[in-house]
């Protein structure tokens, strides 16, 4: 038996093993190699997620809540201040707020699993834990006067955050998000989100920080953080919590690459937009099977997450190269015909961990890393693709993050390369054997 092997290394390609086979007895060896490969592959499939210590990234959250008491009955919420039309015990709302927190944490762990609706082993990109809870039994401090005609104010976010020493919490305790719970009334109208960052206020806020007086701008620390302002409710529903986050995703991704996000993965829909094209994933207000939008004719599909009509979309196989995707005819049954169901479906289709998307030789990054720390995400440049300057984010280890690989070496990526080499070698040998036969 004579086997001549030549090893050829090609730039940016896998190793190609060229073999000249002059004896059919190699068939048995090839079969053995194939069996070994299959065994390794199956073992790898069962442990690939568990071995990688970079996901999920644990995201510490600071929770603050305002419960202004009724001066005549301090066990109950102040109805005039909060706009509640019925008396509600503060302890009841405290319990409901905690329910909302836990539901939201659970939702996000599932929503950040890339294609989690069809891959039960897909890991979460982000998981959330509460760093601390602060409760204030007083009115929300008044900040910027938003509507002079009704004397409606934005919360005084700067004073609120300075009062709790936010930069120490963010810079020294790795807190990435602040979840503020309160109310929306004739006196107070909250923003959905604000970002404290050297990059600016990349959030769903209005007016933006740069247009506010200095005294109303939230503190900018060494590290980035996001403030979400939620409203508590007696049903402990998280619809608006998730809706706020959807808009934050839209703001962050459009800051990094609006062409990819708004004009490919998502879509920019305005009053009168003609839906004469195939959508990908829709957006926070419009599902990909929306039909029409015209406020004048009162037939707007804005906020309509239960549209039963079918339309083509490629969200579940989205790729910047349209030829790499598959369009399917789908309606709201893909996400359960609910708002929260759609939000989760949308999020699980965001390119996440090990998304495998490569376009023009560039590997798509995990977009959830931008939601974890935008400032760090764009450190090497504003791009959704990896480059030599842009690497996956490895969070700083803290007492609550104990699974980070201290060497920084990506063993899982090496393993995937090894498996890929085996695959190419075995396939090549099988083809040669078949040709010899």
pLDDT of residue 78: 98
Q: What does the pLDDT average to over 70-97?
A: 97
Contact by Cβ (8 Å): 202, 233: no
Model's pTM, two decimal places? 0.78
Pairing of strands 225-231, 328-330: unpaired
**pLDDT tens, residue by residue, 162-191:** 999 999 999 999 999 999 999 999 999 999
Contact by Cβ (8 Å): 23, 2: yes
33 pLDDT exceeds 70? no
Q: How far is CA 335 from the centre of its chain?
A: 17
pLDDT of residue 300: 77
**pLDDT tens, residue by residue, 248-303:** 999 999 999 999 999 999 998 877 777 777 889 999 999 999 987 666 556 678 88
> For residue 418, what are the contacts with CB-CB under 8 A and spacing of at least 6?
none
Confidence band of 209 (pLDDT split at 50, 70, 90): very high
Distance CA(152)–CA(78), nearest Å, equals: 17
> For residue 230, what are the contacts with CB-CB under 8 A and spacing of at least 6?
100, 179, 180, 181, 182, 240, 241, 244
**pLDDT tens, residue by residue, 333-357:** 999 999 999 999 999 999 999 999 9
Percent of the chain with pLDDT over 70: 75
311-347: b (≥16 Cβ within 10 Å) or e: bebbbbebbbeeeebebeebbbebbeeebbbbbbbbb
Where does residue 43 rank: exposed (0-12), middle (13-18), buried (19+ CB within 10 A)? exposed
Q: Coil, strand or helix: which one is 437?
A: coil
The phi and psi torsions of 80 (rounded to 5 degrees) equal: -65, -40
Distance CA(279)–CA(287), nearest Å, equals: 9
Q: In the Cβ-directed half-sphere of 246, how many Cα atoms lie within 13 Å?
A: 27
Contact by Cβ (8 Å): 164, 64: yes
Distance CA(279)–CA(320), nearest Å, equals: 13
Distance CA(349)–CA(331), nearest Å, equals: 16
- 3-class SS shares of the chain: helix, strand, coil, % to 5: 35, 20, 45
Tokens 């040709």 appear where? 435
Q: Which residue has the higher pLDDT, 69 or 409?
A: 69
Task: Read off the tokens for 422.
Answer: 């085996």
Longest dimension (CA), the chain: 98
């Amino acid at each position: 038996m004579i086997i001549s092997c030549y090893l050829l290394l090609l730039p940016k390609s896998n190793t190609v093993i060229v073999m000249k086979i002059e004896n059919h007895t190699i068939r048995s060896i090839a079969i053995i190699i194939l069996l070994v490969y299959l065994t390794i592959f199956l073992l790898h499939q069962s442990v690939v997620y568990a071995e990688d210590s970079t996901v999920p990234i644990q995201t510490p959250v600071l929770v603050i809540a305002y419960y202004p008491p009724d001066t005549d009955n301090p066990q109950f919420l102040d109805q005039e201040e909060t706009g509640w039309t019925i008396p509600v015990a503060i302890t009841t709302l405290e319990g409901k707020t905690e329910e909302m927190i836990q539901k939201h944490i659970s939702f996000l762990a599932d929503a950040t699993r890339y294609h989690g609706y069809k891959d039960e082993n897909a890991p979460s990109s982000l998981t959330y834990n509460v760093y601390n809870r602060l409760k204030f039994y007083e009115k929300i401090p008044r900040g910027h006067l938003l509507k002079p005609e009704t004397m409606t104010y934005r919360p005084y976010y700067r004073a609120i955050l300075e009062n709790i020493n936010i930069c120490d919490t963010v810079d020294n305790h790795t807190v990435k998000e602040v979840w503020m719970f309160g109310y929306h009334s004739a006196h107070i109208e909250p923003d959905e989100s604000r970002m404290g960052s050297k990059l600016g206020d990349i959030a769903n806020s209005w007016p933006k920080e740069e247009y506010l007086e200095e005294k109303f701008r939230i503190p900018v620390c060494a590290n980035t953080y996001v403030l979400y302002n939620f409203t508590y409710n007696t049903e402990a529903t998280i619809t608006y919590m998730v809706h706020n986050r959807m808009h934050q995703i839209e703001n962050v991704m459009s800051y990094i690459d609006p062409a990819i996000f708004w004009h490919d993965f998502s879509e920019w829909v305005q009053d009168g937009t003609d839906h004469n094209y195939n959508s990908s994933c829709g957006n926070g207000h419009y599902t990909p099977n929306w039909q029409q939008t015209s406020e004048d004719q009162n037939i707007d599909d804005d906020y309509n997450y239960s549209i039963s009509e079918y339309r083509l979309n490629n969200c579940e196989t989205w790729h910047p190269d349209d030829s790499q995707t598959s369009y399917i005819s789908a309606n709201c049954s893909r996400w359960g015909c609910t708002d929260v169901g759609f939000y989760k479906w949308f999020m699980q289709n965001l390119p996440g961990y090990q998304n495998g998307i490569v376009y023009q030789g560039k590997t798509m990054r995990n977009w959830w890393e931008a939601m974890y720390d935008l400032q760090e995400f764009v450190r090497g440049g504003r791009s959704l693709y990896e480059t030599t300057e842009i690497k996956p984010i490895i969070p700083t280890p803290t007492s609550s993050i104990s699974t980070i690989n201290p060497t920084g070496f990506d063993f899982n990526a090496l393993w995937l390369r090894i498996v890929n080499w085996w695959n190419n070698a075995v396939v090549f040998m099988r083809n040669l054997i078949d040709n010899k036969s």
